[in-house]
């Protein structure tokens, strides 16, 4: 299985980290995947930390998770809001149950911690949330990117190339 022609959700909310949303979206699209930006509202323009806009294709309620093969969670400050939304937790738990690729970068680990899916999982993130992830049961590593089963995590924007190599490879399993 490859990402070609597979539909992927990219979560979006205000204050996402611009590169951590757009770089993965572009890489998945370059590899032939179909990425839908999904937020609380459809056709809403969310603004990244550095001012780059992202307009949602769909609202959470419009999504049939069974139509999708994976999910990307960007970092920035958006994960702190996203983790409080029951639909977001449902999304992450769905992909975890189905063992389908879940990508997280930087502060995005907060969302997976709130979804309760990190016990015994090897992850990385920005060092600022290391304690949050280890308290959620994760095994934290200071490395550019790491894959544990279907969960792919990365630290920060300079690590995006390695992160996306591993995320795209997760569709080959």
Q: Quote the pLDDT of residue 83.
A: 98
Q: Is 91 helix (H, G, I), strand (E, B) or coil?
A: helix
Does the active-site annotation cover 107?
Answer: yes
* pLDDT higher than 90, residue 79: yes
CB atoms within 10 A of CB 31: 15
Contact 109, 123 (CB under 8 A): yes
- Residues near 116 by beta carbon (within 8 Å), at least 6 away in sequence: 93, 136
Q: Quote the pLDDT of residue 1.
A: 57
- Average pLDDT for residues 9-26, to the nearest whole number? 98
Q: Quote the pLDDT of residue 127.
A: 97
- Average pLDDT for residues 127-147, to the nearest whole number? 98
Residue range 57-69, pLDDT digits in tens: 999 999 999 999 9
Catalytic residue from among 94, 107, 141, 150: 107
pTM above 0.95, yes or no: yes
Q: Is 77 helix (H, G, I), strand (E, B) or coil?
A: coil
- Average pLDDT for residues 64-88, to the nearest whole number? 98
Q: Give CA–CA dist 147/128, Å, rounded.
A: 20
Q: Give CA–CA dist 150/168, Å, rounded.
A: 11
Percent of the chain's residues with pLDDT above 70: 99
* Residue indicated by tokens 């959470």: 60
């Amino acid at each position: 299985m490859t990402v070609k022609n597979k539909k992927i959700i990219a979560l979006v909310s205000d204050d996402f980290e611009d590169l951590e949303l757009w770089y993965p979206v572009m890489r998945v699209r370059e590899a032939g995947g179909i990425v839908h930006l999904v937020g609380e509202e459809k056709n809403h323009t969310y603004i990244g930390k550095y001012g780059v806009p992202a307009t949602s294709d769909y609202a959470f309620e419009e999504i049939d998770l069974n139509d999708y093969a994976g999910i990307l969670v960007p970092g920035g400050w958006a994960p702190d809001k996203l983790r409080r939304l029951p639909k977001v937790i449902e999304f992450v738990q769905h992909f975890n149950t189905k063992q389908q690729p879940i990508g997280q970068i930087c502060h995005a680990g907060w969302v997976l911690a709130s979804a309760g899916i990190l016990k015994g999982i090897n992850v990385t993130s920005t060092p600022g949330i290391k304690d949050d992830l280890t308290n959620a049961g994760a095994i934290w590593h200071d490395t550019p990117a790491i894959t544990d089963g279907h969960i792919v995590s990365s630290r920060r924007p300079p690590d995006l190339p390695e992160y996306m190599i591993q995320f795209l490879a997760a569709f080959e399993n």
